[in-house]
Structure formats: structure tokens, C-alpha cells
Structure 1
């Protein structure tokens, strides 16, 4: 059985766990989220999306 999960959900869970365990504070986590939000509206967004799709394709073929 294959399980499909959105990258946003997976990364959100990782950030939540890191905040709960004390490895990352809320302020830096929000700063990184804001950076990602604004990065998504730049010209680099398609290249980043393609790179992530390629990596996930490699992982799913394993």
C-alpha cells in the first residue's frame, strides 16, 4: 500500500516536532516560513519545484 502525503504537511509536522522538542524556537521558525512564502513568489519558484519533484521521483522509485 502506497502512502501519499503532501510536502507541506510533512514539513509542517517536522517543524512542529522541532519546536516542541526545543531544537527550534518559534521566532526563527516563523522567519523561515516567511522566507519560504516570499521565495515562492520569485522567479526561483519553478526551479525549486522542479528540483523537489525530481528528488521525490528518485525516492519513490527506490
Structure 2
């Protein structure tokens, strides 16, 4: 009987690790996107593009980057 529980615990541990790795991956992807957007916004502000044009520029940059 102890072997059955030991195997179940190992499987549960592996599932937890897999779930944490997926979550970690999603968090890093989100942070990467967020920091890229902040850098782009900062550069656009430094160049001096007005706010109305700025939002359109950011949208086009994300479309371009995503391709």
C-alpha cells in the first residue's frame, strides 16, 4: 500500500510543478509585454508625438511586433 500512495504523491507533485511552470511562463510573458509597452510609450513621449497619435502608434507597433 505505501507504494501506491508514494506514486500518487509523486504524480500530484509533478502536476503541481507543471502547473507552476505554466503559470510562471504566463507571468513572464505578461511582464515582457508590459515592459515592452512601457518602453515604447516612453520613447514615443520622448519623441514628442501627441497623445491622440501616440495611441495609434502603439497599436500599430504591437501589430507589427506580433507578426
TM-score over 0.5 for the alignment? Answer: no
- Structure with greater proportional helix content: 2
TM-score (ref. length: structure 2): 0.31
Q: Greater CA radius of gyration, 1 or 2?
A: 2
